[in-house]
Amino acid sequence: MTALLRVEGLSKSYGALRVTDGLSLSVEPGELHAVIGPNGAGKTTLIHQISGMTPPDAGRILFAGEDVTGRSMAGRALAGLARSFQITSILPRFSALQNVALAVQARSGSSFRFLSPVDGEAALTGPARDLLARFGLAERAEMPAGALSHGEKRQLELAIALATAPKLLLLDEPLAGTSHAESARIVEILRGLTGSVAILLVEHDMEAVFALADRVSVLVYGRVIATGAPEAIRSNPEVRAAYLGEEAA
């Protein structure tokens, strides 16, 4: 019962379509748990429900020992649940630095301060600059986030999520649309986080998944058909048939 995140019997339907079908899974502290599955399997919908963006029809979500099923997305974020979006979600008019500093601000004291200039707060811009530097975006700090390249935006989004100092990161295809070098850097950063920050990683890049994951769950039609160590998943005949088949062939 030490799991950081425990999802129990989660269900969600859109009309007649069962997108999440009695799904259960857990993430241990510091663990990187990858979720793979074909397009439309319900991976993004799962992340929406865990993060509080979409309410489930049934089931429970326990985070750090508390039932957060009824909590708002903001409430979960403050409790240490951060997420990235499959479709990049940033503040395009703000500079890259302001994007990250705002996420630092969310966790450091009240934001009902009306008179002192926020850009002058070293307690916010300091950590934000450090994070940007880790993603190789130091030179882009003052640029409007909307003007960054696609790959840079993906990395900025990760920096924003990390800036909230999360206990658990929910990542929805962080590598999609990044260049080879960018993707290598992201994998490196994620590897550096394992042990300290737990990660639920949805990703299509199998090389990255099998290199990073402690455990892999395979999601098909809203249901987990297998969970296990990467090696076990790779050789699981059911998984090969349902998902890895085309790649193995």
Partner 1 sequence: MARRLRREWLPLGLFLALALVPVLAPLGPQSFILSLMTRIVVVALAALSLDLLIGKGGLVSFGHAACLGIGAYAVGILSAEGVTDGGAHLAVAIAAAAFFALATGAVAMRTDGVHFIMITLAFGQMLYFLATALSAYGGDDGITLPGRSTVLGRDVLASDTVLYLAALGALLAAYLLLRRIAASRFGRVLEGARDNPVRMEAIGFRPFRFRLAAYLISAMIAAVAGVLLANQTGFVSPATMAWQRSGELIFIVVLGGLGSLHGAILGAIAFILAEELLSHWSEHWRIVFGPLLILAVLFARGGLAGLLTKGARP
Ligand X SMILES: Nc1ncnc2c1ncn2[C@@H]1O[C@H](COP(=O)(O)OP(=O)(O)OP(=O)(O)O)[C@@H](O)[C@H]1O
189 CB contacts (<8 Å, ≥6 apart)?
A: 134, 135, 158
Task: Draw the binding track, 106-125, toward partner 1 (x: CB under 8 A; -: no contact).
Answer: xx--xxxxxxxxxx-x----
Q: What residue type is assigned to position 108 of the chain?
A: S
Among 1, 16, 39, 114, binds ligand X (CB under 6 A): 39
Among 6, 26, 31, 43, binds ligand X (CB under 6 A): 43
User: Is residue 227 part of the contact set for Mg ion (CB under 5 A)?
Assistant: no
Which helix (H) or strand (E) is 186 found in, with range?
helix 180-193
Residue with smaller CB distance to ligand X, 44 or 84: 44
Q: Mark residue 238 as left, alpha or beta (left: phi above 0; alpha: psi -120 to 50; beta: remaining).
A: alpha
Other beta carbons within 10 Å of 93: 10
Task: Draw the binding track, 34-53, toward partner 1 (x: CB under 8 A; -: no contact).
Answer: -----------------x-x
User: Is residue 11 part of the contact set for Mg ion (CB under 5 A)?
Assistant: no
Name residues contacting Mg ion, limited to 60-119 (CB under 5 A).
Answer: 86
Distance CA 191, CA 212 (A): 6
Distance CA 223, CA 21 (A): 5
- The token duo for 15 is 């009309």
212 CB contacts (<8 Å, ≥6 apart)?
A: 32, 34, 187, 190, 191, 194, 201
Residue count, binding to Mg ion (CB under 5 A): 3
User: Is residue 217 part of the contact set for ligand X (CB under 6 A)?
Assistant: no
Residue with smaller CB distance to ligand X, 26 or 45: 45
User: Is residue 86 part of the contact set for ligand X (CB under 6 A)?
Assistant: yes
CB of 129 to partner 1, least distance (A): 16
Other beta carbons within 10 Å of 176: 17
Task: Draw the binding track, 214-233, toward partner 1 (x: CB under 8 A; -: no contact).
Answer: --------------------
Interface ranges with ligand X (CB under 6 A)? 14, 17, 19, 37, 39-45, 86
Interface ranges with Mg ion (CB under 5 A)? 43-44, 86
